[in-house]
Structure 1
């Protein structure tokens, strides 16, 4: 009889252990499924972000090319402007007059040295004062 009681108790303990194993397995499977779904969601988000980064990279390269083109055009225009400045004899006179005004020459000296009409010389002085203010 004692042996039968021990066998029943052992069987009961084994059933309880088996029930706990099944419960833990179910919980573990549920957690594993949840983590697998999170992993899939993260992988999808990474793919989306990679795509967006690639689009940004392509856009930046395009903008960079356009900036280089604009810089080249600006350089060409600056060179053309400088060339015109030296090709135009009147521009040389006005450049000289402006330089004289900046160095502190008086009105009569600028008129005499650059052979400018009084009104133009006065305008240069007026503009120089506005620039300095």
Structure 2
């Protein structure tokens, strides 16, 4: 009977140890489940953030394409304006060259830029003294 008491004690001890081991495993499993749940929540949050960033990236791409098209339109209009301005300037130059008085004054300005005096302007361009002095005061100081 003593053997039975010892055997029963050993079985009881073994049972208690088995229960302790099972409880520890259960606690570890519950802890793993908690961590797994947290990781699942974090993954879900990261997925939502990635989707939001993808949407923002799509919007940025669309707006940059729109801005590129707008810039091309503006460049095209700028080129048209530049061409028109060049044509207008050419027309103005042609008109100025057709006017004999303009030719005379252009020649007088060139002479002033080369260092001519008021008397030289009067003689070369057949200008009155007042006009020669006016041109000299306007253009003579720039040379």
TM-score band, normalised by the shorter chain? 0.7 to 0.9
| 1:24-65: CA deviation from partner (whole Å, max 9, x where unpaired) | 221221232123213312321331232134223312421332
Question: What do the CA deviations read for 1:74-123 (whole angstroms, capped 9, x no partner)?
Answer: 23212321332133223333322222211111122223323344333333
Residue from 94, 107, 112 that aligns with 1:101: 112
Partner of residue 49 from structure 1, selected from 57, 76, 80: 57
Aligned residues: 132
| TM-score using structure 2 length | 0.72
Of 109-118 and 96-105, more deviation after overlay is shown by 109-118
Name the CA shift for 1:64/1:86 in 2 (closer, same or farther; >3 Å): same
Larger radius of gyration: 2
Answer yes or no: is the 8 Å Cα contact 1:102–1:128 preserved in 2.
yes
Q: CA RMSD in A?
A: 2.5
Deviation, 1:130, is 6.0
Which sections of structure 2, spanning at least 5 residues, go unmatched? 1-8
Scaled by the length of structure 1, the TM-score of the pair is 0.77
